[in-house]
Amino acid sequence: MTHAADKGADPMPSTSATPASDQVGIILVTHKDYGSALLSAAEMIVGQVHDCTCINIDSAVEVDEALHRLQEAADLLSRGRGVLVLTDMFGGTPTNLSLSLMGSRKGADDVEVLTGVNLPMLLRVLQNRTLPMAELAEKALASGCEGIISAGKVLRSKNSDNK
């Protein structure tokens, strides 16, 4: 798996032997190496992932360089189904840079940007990439929210139910 922007690498996504034109391409754009770590964790669970890359944003990356990497990754990964960009937080530099893709691409539905990426969201996306973009985005949002749980509250509730 190639992780774009790791030590200045070009965004060259991992690709399978045959182009996966039936899948939505995935770009994780996050502060530092958060996206790379999430993708590594996801690969531990689901196996090797294709047509997915990470662009890590930190103070050493110039804005123009980051925008170029984003556009290049989107061009490489958009194989007819579009590109889903997952960022770490709304209002952050990774999201703000990613939003530029939404207006610069040929089709209105070619790129979607979701913020607040977490492991449950990423896993759902990776397992449902043949869905239409809007449906995939909705499933991703639901999984991201459902993955946020107060474990202590759940355990206290179960303990009080067992008394």
Which 8-state DSSP code applies to residue 105? S
Tokens of 145: 């929210």
Q: What pTM was estimated for this model as a whole?
A: 0.84
Q: Where are the alpha helices (DSSP H) in the chain?
A: 34-46, 63-77, 93-104, 119-127, 133-146, 151-161
pLDDT of residue 17: 33
Cα distance between residue 47 and residue 40, in whole Å: 9
Identify the architecture of domain 6-161 in CATH: 3-Layer(aba) Sandwich (3.40)
- The residue extents of the domains of the chain are 6-161
pLDDT tens-digit readout, 47-104: 999 999 999 999 898 999 999 999 999 999 988 889 999 999 999 999 999 999 987 6
Cα distance between residue 62 and residue 135, in whole Å: 34
Buried-exposed string 128-140: b where 16+ CB fall within 10 A, e elsewhere: ebebebeebbebb
Cα distance between residue 70 and residue 85, in whole Å: 10
